[in-house]
Amino acid sequence: MQRVRADAREDASRYRAVSLLARNWALLFLLLMVVVFSFSGKNFFALDNFQNILRLATTTLLLAYAETFVIITGGIDLSVGFLMGFSSVLSAQVIRKLCLAGWSPGACIPLGVAAAVLACLGCGMASGELVSRYRVPPFIATLGVLGVATGITLHISGGFPIGDLPAVITDIGNGYLYYLHPASGKGSFFRPPAAVTEAQIRELVRVFPNATVLIVAVLAALWYLLKHTRFGRHTYAVGGSTDAALRAGINVRRHLLLIYMLSALLAGVAGVVFVFQSGIGNHTSWGANYELFAIAAVIIGGASLMGGKGRITASTVGVLLLTVLENGLYLSGVEPYYRFIAVGLILILAVVIDQLFPDLF
Amino acid sequence: MKRQSAFVTYMGQRWAIVFLVLEFIFFSILGRGFLTLNGVQIVLFYGTTLALLAAGETFVIVSGGIDLSVGFVMGFATIVSAKLVAAFSRMGLSPGLSIALGVAITLAIGVGPGFVNGFLVGHLKVPPFLATFSVQGITYGIALLLAGGAGAAKDVPILANLIGNGYLLYWVRGQGLSFFIRPEVARGTRVVEMIPTMVVVTVLFIAVGAYLLKRTRFGRYTYAIGGNIDAAIRSGINTKRHLTLVYIISSLFATLAGIIYMLEYVTGKADAGASFLLDSIVAVVIGGASLYGGIGTVWKTMLGCLILSVLEMGLRMMGVPTFDKFIAVGLILIFAVLIDQFFPELIHKED
Amino acid sequence: MAYLLEVKNITKRFGGLIAVNNVSMGVNAGEVVGVLGDNGAGKSTLIKVISGVYHPDEGRIFFQGREVTVGSPMDALAMGIETIYQDLALAENLNVPANIFLGREKLKVALGLFPVLDNSHMFKESKKVLEKLDILIPSLRNPIRALSGGQRQAVAISRSIYWDAKFLIMDEPTAALGVAEQKKVLDLVNRLKAHGIGIIIISHQLHDVFSVADRLVIMRRGEKVAERITKETNGDEVVSLIVGAETI
C-alpha cells in the first residue's frame, strides 16, 4: 500500500514539474534566446541594446495589452493597429496646425494627444456597441470600424507622414530618466548634463527610457485592473461563460462596450507614443499586421482565442519574446525574412503546447 | 408585432443584388466610361484575383474556419511561378512548354501551405486563426527568401504576357472573329477585345469550385463540419482528412491567383496578395456566409466580390481617392451583417 | 396555510403557439413540487415565467402572500427566487468562491484608496456555506473545470443558498450525473427542504422526483392535466398522465 502511494506521488510531482515548465515555456524560451543571442549577436548583451528593445517594444506592448482584455472576453480586435495610425495622424496634425498657428507647445501637445485619444475612444465605442448591442461578430465589427477609421486617417494625412512637430516631442519620447557620465561622475535627470562636451556625449550612460516608465505604469495599472477589481473578475467571467455572467446579473452588454473602448484607448495611446518616438504621424499601411503580432503575443502568453484565459504579465513576455527574437536575429546578421518564419514557428509551438496542457491557467 | 410587407422582406433577403444594381446606377451616372464595354472589362480584370481568393476562402469559412494565409500564398506563387518559368526558359525549353511546366509545378507546390494549414487545424486542433496566421508568416518569409532581391522575373518569355493579357475574342470590322490570338491588322484598324482570357480561366475554376461545394458529397460534408463538427465526426466523416483537403483547396485557389498575376504583370511580388486578404473575407461575409460556419455559397461570395470590385472601379473612375473605399467597405460590411440579423428577426419574431 | 409561491391562470403564447395554457399551482415553504411532462409540455416555459425570463400574457404570480410582477431575472433574484439551470450557468475558468460571488463580489479598500476584491472574505464565506450544506469540495482555489458534475451542481446550489434564496427552481438537476452523485444531490435537496425553502423540480427521471417531491404537477401540451400527492400515486399512473391516457 505504501509503495503504491509513493509511486503515485512521484508521478504526480513529475507531472507538476513538467506542467510548470510548459506553463512558463515562453519565459524559458525568452531566456534561452537571450543566452544564444548574447553569443551570436553583436552588442546584444548590453544595457544600451536592452533598453533599446524595451523602447521599441512600447507600442507593441500597448497593443498587446489592448488585445489581452478583448481576447479574454472571447472576442478579437482587428482595429488596434489602424487606430494607432489614426491616433498618430490626428495628434500630429492637431499639434502641427496649432503650433503653426502660434500656440505654445505646452498647449498644442496636450490638446493633440487628447483629441487623438478621444477620437479613438469614439471608435472603440462604435466597435463595442456593434458587438455588444447588435451582436455583430467582433471580427467583423472591428474590421468595419478600422475601415472607416483608416479612411478618415487617409483623408487627414493624404497618405503622407505628418512632420514638422516641436522638437521637445521626440526629446520626451526618446529620452531617458537619468543620464550619467561615468568618467566625470556628472549626472542629471531627464536631459543630458549641461556641461558636457561633444566627445563626452558619446560616453553617456542612459538609464531607463521614458517610454519604459510609461509601460511600467500602464502595466501596473492594467495588471491591477485585471486581477484585483470587479471589472477584471467580470472580464474573465464574460469570457468563460457569457450565460453565467448574464444570469449572475452582470451587465454583459455594458462590460463588452467598456472592453472595446479600453482596447481602442490603449491603441490611441500607442499612436501617441509613436508620434513621440518617431516625431511623425503616419497612417498604418495595409500589410503592417500590427494587430496580428499583438494577438500572437497574447496567445504566446497563454491566452486562448476561446476566451477566459490571459494575463497582462504573460502578454508582456509574449511581446518581449517576439521583439527580442527580431532584435537578436537582426544583430546576428540574419536577413529579415527569417523573422517571419521564426514568428510563425514559435506561434505554432505555443498553440501545440497549449493543446497538450489545456488546463494550464 | 410588426407586419413586414412581403415586398420589403423579399428585397431584404436579396439586398446584395439590390445593392449591386444601385451601385451600377450610381456609378454610371457619376463616373465617366463606366458602363462601356471597356469599363466592365476592367472591373472583371481587377476582380479575378479577389474572386479566386474569395472562392477558396468560402470553402474554409463554410467549414467553420478561416484562412489568413491566402494573400501571401498568392505572393509566394507569383515568385515561384516566375522563377520556374524563367528557369525553364533559360534551360532552352520553348516558351509554351516553359510556361506550362512552370504553372503545373507551381500548382503542385501550392498544395504545400494548404496541407500544413489543414494538418494543423484538422489533426492538431490548432485554432484556424493561429494556424493560418503562422503559415502566412512562414510563407511570406520563404517568398522573400526566394525573391532574394529584384529581378525575380528575368527571362520569362513574352508569351506569358500575351497569355496573361490576352482576350478570348477579338473582332475586327471586316475580318470577323478570332479566338485567343490577337489578329494582325494594318495600323490604325480598330480591334475590339472582348472578355479577357484570364477572366475565362477564373470563371471556369470558380464554376468548378461552386459545383464542388454545392453538389458533391465533399461539399455536403464541408457544410456538415461547419455546422456541427461533433455531429459530423459521429456520422463517420473523416473530419481530419476533410479539413486538410479544404485548406488545400483554398491554397490552390490562392496559388492560381498568383500564377495569373504573374502572367498579367510578368513579375513576382511577395506581397502581391497582401491587400486582398481582408477584402476576400469581406466578400465572403457580404455574400451571406457566417463566420461560424455552415452557411455560404461560392456564387453568393462572387456577388460580394462584384460589389467590392464595382465599388473600387467606380470610385477610381470618379476620381475619388481610394481612401474612401476603406470607409465604404467598412460600412457595407457592417450593413451586411446587421441586415442578416434584422431580417430573420422580423420574419420569425419571438419574445 | 398560504403558499410560498403561487401562480394563477398563467397563459403564455408565442405567436400562434400557446406554450402555457391557464396553469395554476402553488408551492409551500419546505415543500418540493415536481413538475412533470413530456417535451413541449410547457414546463420550461412555466418556470421561465416564474423566474422573470418571460412575461405572462395572462395570469398572476403571488410570492410570500403578495402579488408580484417578475419583470426580469434580476427581479426574481432580488425577491429570493433562484433558478438553477440545466447547464448550471457557472464560469468554468473561475474557482468556487468566484462563482459563488459572481456579480456580487465583495470589495475591500486597499491602502485607503483603491477598491480591491476581498478574496479572503469570499473564500471564507464560501467554505462556510459549503459546510452548512455538508458539501465536500477538496480544493476551492482551482477552476471549477476540475470538479465533477455533482460537485458543480452543489456549487450552483450553494450559490443560491448563500444569497438567501427562499425559493429554488431546479431544471433537470440530476440529468448528467452518475448514480452516486444523483443521490448526493437529492440528499442536498432534502436538506434544503428542512431549511424551509420551497422548491420546484423539473425532471424526466421519475424515480428521482418520486424520492424527493411531496407533490407532483403533470403538464401536457401547455395545460396542467393533473396534480397528485406523491405518496398517493405511482409511476404507472404518472406516466399515463404524462402521455395522455387519462385526464384528471
Q: How confident is the model at residue C234, as a pLDDT?
A: 87
B215 with B209: CB under 8 angstroms? no
> Among B58, B277, B287, B145, which Cα is nearest to A291's?
B277
Out of B133, B135, B324, the one facing A296 most closely (by C-beta) is B133
| Residue extents of the structural domains in chain C | 1-80+166-248, 92-163
Q: DSSP letters along A84-139, please?
A: HHHHHHHHHHHHHHHHHTT--HHHHHHHHHHHHHHHHHHHHHHHHHHHHTS---HH
Cβ-defined contact of A239 to C93 (cutoff 8 Å): yes
Cβ-defined contact of A145 to B338 (cutoff 8 Å): no
CA distance B140 to chain A (A): 7
- What's the structural domain count of chain A? 1
Can you read off the three cell numbers belonging to residue B257?
Answer: 491567383
- Which CATH number belongs to the domain containing residue A140 in this structure? 1.10.3470
pLDDT at A21 over 80: no
**CATH architecture for segment(s) C1-80+166-248:** 3-Layer(aba) Sandwich (3.40)
CA distance C101 to chain A (A): 9
Chain C residues close to A233, C-beta within 8 Å: 94, 98, 102, 105, 117
- A13 domain-assigned: no
> What is the tens place of the pLDDT at every residue in C94-146?
999 999 999 888 888 877 677 889 999 999 999 988 888 778 888 888 888 88
At residue B168, φ and ψ (nearest 5 deg) are: -70, -45
Spell out the residues 6+ positions from residue C224 whose beta carbon is closer than 8 angstroms to its own.
Answer: C23, C24, C25, C217, C218
Chain A residues close to B326, C-beta within 8 Å: 147-148, 150-151, 154
How many other CB atoms are there within 10 angstroms of residue C107's CB atom?
14
Cβ-defined contact of A244 to C114 (cutoff 8 Å): no
Q: Between residues 311 and 350 of chain B, which touch chain C (CB distance below 8 Å)?
A: 349-350
Q: How confident is the model at residue B149, as a pLDDT?
A: 64
How many other CB atoms are there within 10 angstroms of residue C226's CB atom?
20
Cβ-defined contact of A143 to B126 (cutoff 8 Å): no
> What is the tens place of the pLDDT at every residue in A221-259?
999 999 999 999 999 999 999 988 988 888 999 999 999
Chain A residues close to C145, C-beta within 8 Å: 359
In the beta sheet, which residues pair with residue C219?
A: C37, C224
Q: What is the ipTM of this complex?
A: 0.79
Which H helix or E strand runs over C9? strand C5-14
User: In terms of residue numbers, what domain contains A89?
Assistant: 40-356
Can you read off the three cell numbers belonging to residue B234?
Answer: 459521429
**Alpha carbons A123 and C7: distance in angstroms, whole number:** 48
Cβ-defined contact of B133 to A347 (cutoff 8 Å): yes
> What is the tens place of the pLDDT at every residue in A147-181?
999 999 998 998 899 988 888 888 888 888 888 77
CA distance C102 to chain A (A): 6
Contact A39/B at CB under 8 A: no
pLDDT at B242 over 90: yes
Spell out the residues 6+ positions from residue A198 whose beta carbon is closer than 8 angstroms to its own.
Answer: none
B195 in the Ramachandran plot: left (φ > 0), alpha (ψ -120 to 50) or beta?
left
> What is the tens place of the pLDDT at every residue in B247-262?
999 999 999 999 998 8
Q: How confident is the model at residue B351, as a pLDDT?
A: 31
Gyration radius of chain B's alpha carbons:
22
- A30 domain-assigned: no
CA distance A360 to chain B (A): 16
Residue in chain A closest to C83 (alpha carbons) equals A247
CA distance C104 to chain A (A): 8
- Least trusted range by pLDDT, from A156-170, B15-29, B120-134, C1-15: B15-29
At residue A189, φ and ψ (nearest 5 deg) are: -90, 145
**Alpha carbons A71 and B44: distance in angstroms, whole number:** 39
pLDDT at C19 over 60: yes
Contact A19/C at CB under 8 A: no
b (16+ CB within 10 A) / e for A102-137? eeebeebbeebbebbbebbbebbbbbbbbbbeeebb
pLDDT at A110 over 80: yes
Mean of pLDDT over chain C: 87
> What is the tens place of the pLDDT at every residue in B305-332?
988 888 887 777 777 776 777 888 888 8
- Least trusted range by pLDDT, from A263-267, B208-212, B288-292: B288-292
Out of B120, B330, B341, the one facing A135 most closely (by C-beta) is B341
The residue among A286, A345, A352, A353 with the most chain B CBs within 10 A of its CB, best to mutate, is: A286
- A20 domain-assigned: no
Q: How confident is the model at residue A183 (pLDDT cuts 50, 70, 90)?
A: confident
